[in-house]
Structure 1
Amino acid sequence: MEGRFVSHKISRVRWLPVSGSSLQLPEYFATGSWDAEQNKVCLWETSNTEGIETDQLFLEDPKPLCSINHQGDVMDLQFLDQERIITASSTGSVILFRCHLNDQKLSILQEWERAHYHSHSNAPCTSLVCNGPEIISVGEDGRINHLQADQKEPVRTIDNADSSSLNAVTFLRTTEVLTVNSIGQLKIWDFRQPGNKPRQIYSLTGDRVPLHCVDRHPNQQHIVATGGQDGTFCIWDVRQGSIPISLLDAHSAEMWEVHFHPSNPDHVFTCSEDGSLWHWNASVTTPDLPSFLQQGRRNFSISGSGANVDLNQSVTCAWLTMDAAKGRVDISNLLSAYVLSVNSLDVVGEQLVCGTDGEAVYITHDLEL
């Protein structure tokens, strides 16, 4: 499947948050590039008009509004608000940009140089998460930084948070973050507590498979999803136990991002090095679909507590209660013909955008939720 060529490999893509009613559709998104002589952060405008239909995706001509050079690969990118973008760099820096939509330009507001480093070299900053002006960064140096948008110095740094690379981070609560690392562990950090020890540690059993991504359920803070180097999709309940409550065979290569749908979290979206972009639907089952309607879809049983799941029962409590046989998840591959890595995705309402190593961006305006 051909994508819309944007002249650089996309490492991260994010919708600009919309103001006011949640019914308002996003019109702008930002991308960050990697593996280029000169990487860039770009801002794009897209319309909600009909594009060229190809399978489930609409290929659009997003209009480039502006771009700015970025030192190093863009390892992560988040909107702090409607006017500011924060990025994580492979150089170890964290960079804050201002979006001037009216003037169609981007400018640097602040840079925290060497926020992540080894003793004799820089260490890539791998992931960021924002909550208002609060910014948390993690990196390959095992360091956690608590930054504020209007302060040059970190509010707090946990220098020896982890002996392995921290690959992703998300907020659980206002004062708590959860990190995943390269030996298959989840750790909860409470910034009200002194020292450099996590409040709790969770881990995959067996092989220490690196975890690359994490997302928190938007309504139930104790439910988190992770994806790892082996493509496995895990659901965790951080209130109980130290291992995942469900573990699903998913992609055939590294899973780079996982996102609960922000307003319909029975739906989850994942993307992978294997070139697939999956829509996981745990809200309903479709046991009697004609075979011609099941093309491009896969049905996976959810396993948990060592029990196999009855494929003919519905998911009564999506993602969470895995005991007593709860059902199956319906999966659609939204990029069934794609072969290069899909590195990033973002979803709002019925709109999804993803970026790839094929120097292409794909957009759909009509997800089936």
Structure 2
Amino acid sequence: MDGSITSFSSFDSKKQYNTIERAYVHVKVNRARWVPVPDGQSASQLVTGSYSELNNSLDLWTCPRGKHDEGAPRAVCTVQVSGDVTELKFVDPQTFLASTGKGDLLLFKVKEEQLEEIQKWDTTQMLCDADSFTGFDVADGVVALATTDGQIVCFPYADSSNAPSNMIKPGKDGVKAVSFIRHHEIALGNLRGQISIWDLRENIFAPAITFPYNADSAIGVTRLSPFPLQKHILVASGCDGTIATWDLRNVTNSQTIYAAHSKLVSDLRFHDMRPGNLFTCSFAGDVWHWNNFDELLGASTSTSQSFSVGAQKPNVLCLLPEKKFPVNSIDVCGDTLVSACDNDLLVFIKSLKLK
């Protein structure tokens, strides 16, 4: 199918019966991330960031891990922050970064059952005019921050000088998604439906590549991620509920669009150890498990192959059906997924059937 845009407008979303546990946490959670553990172990701690509360916070939770995994998660540490938590990502097994809607970037370390603040930056230290951050990505010690005024500020977060190493100004079109492809290459997606690739080694006043999420209509981009096994394959999600892929070596003739969720895709996550498994969630309240995503890309988990549109249709398992309240974020560790729902719930889905 080289040279064409392939769109799968319908496919089966099979129900999957797993162990599902719900915990009412009394706050709206925007981001939920497992504290990383070695492969084969079960995660026992979770960090969440709230939003739309009078007093927003970062919270550390312990999750029971006994013979029967009985009992609800327990909040063991709460740190109040200024503004909504807009993004949260671990940079190593004990350290994470969190951004806020008030323009703070926070570096924390998890020490047993405590959260210890290591460093705090704000927009004035970044030498930018924005008043808040909409999100960020991090790779090889460098963080790329998306600001409300459309700038991307890159700087080494371990550098005490706080001086930006690069500053990108793609325009004032509402950058919604930012993702490192490689340590020197960043993908940006905005609410007008434009995706741009920037090479930090070259002229940062113009992107290396620019292309639309959907050539037929302006569909805003919500999330971006390179496929972990083949970084030249870019995976994105849209405000219309679709999932799309490109081969960045030939974006004109390599797009595939999957008509998936019925509303905006709020998060997408590849399994860290088994990246052929993709998980997505949406404002429709549903969570999906794509368990043959590597096959859709024509990829192999053992060797690097060239990109090609797979002959198979997506094999999608519905972990949570649509409901009234959106799912804001998901994370997966081992065979357990956590979803942060807009009705003050954390939902844990256990015994995932991973490929």
TM-score of the two chains, using structure 1 as the length reference: 0.81
Q: Matched residues in 2 for 1:92 and 1:117: separation?
A: 12
Match among 150, 154, 165 for residue 156 of structure 1: 165
1:251 paired to 2:261: yes
Match among 40, 53, 63 for residue 57 of structure 2: 40
In the alignment, what sits opposite 1:17? 36
Which moved further from structure 2: 217-226 or 90-99?
A: 90-99
1:215 offset after TM fit, Å? 1.6
Q: Matched residues in 2 for 1:157 and 1:144: separation?
A: 8
Match among 172, 180, 191 for residue 189 of structure 2: 180
Is the 1:316–1:326 contact (alpha carbons within 8 Å) kept by the matching residues of 2? no
In the alignment, what sits opposite 2:325? 340
Q: Matched residues in 1 for 2:241 and 2:264: separation?
A: 5
1:315 offset after TM fit, Å? 5.1
Q: Matched residues in 1 for 2:274 and 2:151: separation?
A: 33
Aligned-partner residue type, residue 215 of structure 2: T
Match among 114, 127, 130 for residue 105 of structure 1: 114
In the alignment, what sits opposite 1:329? 314
Q: Matched residues in 2 for 1:262 and 1:14: separation?
A: 13
Q: Matched residues in 1 for 2:60 and 2:254: separation?
A: 37
**Matched residue of 1:8: which SS?**
coil
Match among 121, 139, 153 for residue 131 of structure 1: 139
Which moved further from structure 2: 166-175 or 330-339?
A: 330-339
Match among 67, 88, 99 for residue 99 of structure 2: 88
Match among 90, 94, 97 for residue 79 of structure 1: 90
Q: Matched residues in 2 for 1:207 and 1:344: separation?
A: 26
How many pairs does the alignment contain?
A: 325
What CA deviation, in whole Å up to 9, does each residue of 1:148-182 have, x standing for no partner? Answer: 22324233242523331111211111211111111
Is the 1:129–1:170 contact (alpha carbons within 8 Å) kept by the matching residues of 2? yes
Higher-RCO chain (CA-CA 8 Å, sequence separation at least 6): 2
In the alignment, what sits opposite 2:250? 240
Which moved further from structure 2: 165-174 or 270-279?
A: 165-174
Is the 1:134–1:147 contact (alpha carbons within 8 Å) kept by the matching residues of 2? yes
Is the 1:81–1:132 contact (alpha carbons within 8 Å) kept by the matching residues of 2? no
Change (3 A) 1:69 1:365: same
1:244 offset after TM fit, Å? 5.8
Match among 72, 80, 86 for residue 69 of structure 1: 80
1:17 offset after TM fit, Å? 1.8
In the alignment, what sits opposite 1:147? 155
Is the 1:136–1:145 contact (alpha carbons within 8 Å) kept by the matching residues of 2? yes
**Matched residue of 2:146: which SS?**
strand
Change (3 A) 1:117 1:6: farther
Q: Matched residues in 1 for 2:296 and 2:200: separation?
A: 36
Counterparts of residues 214-363 of structure 1 (less than 5 Å): 214-242=224-252, 245-282=255-292, 317=298, 320-322=307-309, 326-336=311-321, 338-363=323-348
Aligned-partner residue type, residue 276 of structure 1: D
Aligned-partner residue type, residue 26 of structure 2: S
Is the 1:351–1:366 contact (alpha carbons within 8 Å) kept by the matching residues of 2? yes
Q: Matched residues in 1 for 2:156 and 2:116: separation?
A: 18
1:5 paired to 2:5: no
1:189 offset after TM fit, Å? 1.4
Aligned-partner residue type, residue 34 of structure 1: Y
Match among 192, 201, 210 for residue 201 of structure 2: 192
Unaligned runs of 5+ in 1: 53-59, 285-313
**Matched residue of 1:72: which SS?**
coil
Change (3 A) 1:138 1:243: farther
Output the aligned Cα RMSD: 2.5
Change (3 A) 1:7 1:13: same
In the alignment, what sits opposite 1:300? none
Is the 1:276–1:342 contact (alpha carbons within 8 Å) kept by the matching residues of 2? yes
**Matched residue of 1:328: which SS?**
coil
Is the 1:277–1:333 contact (alpha carbons within 8 Å) kept by the matching residues of 2? yes
1:47 offset after TM fit, Å? 3.1
Q: Matched residues in 2 for 1:283 and 1:79: separation?
A: 24
Q: Matched residues in 2 for 1:131 and 1:118: separation?
A: 21
Q: Matched residues in 1 for 2:316 and 2:22: separation?
A: 22
1:353 offset after TM fit, Å? 1.2
**Matched residue of 1:79: which SS?**
strand
In the alignment, what sits opposite 1:288? none
**Matched residue of 1:214: which SS?**
strand
Change (3 A) 1:96 1:243: farther
1:118 offset after TM fit, Å? 8.2
Q: Matched residues in 2 for 1:96 and 1:316: separation?
A: 36
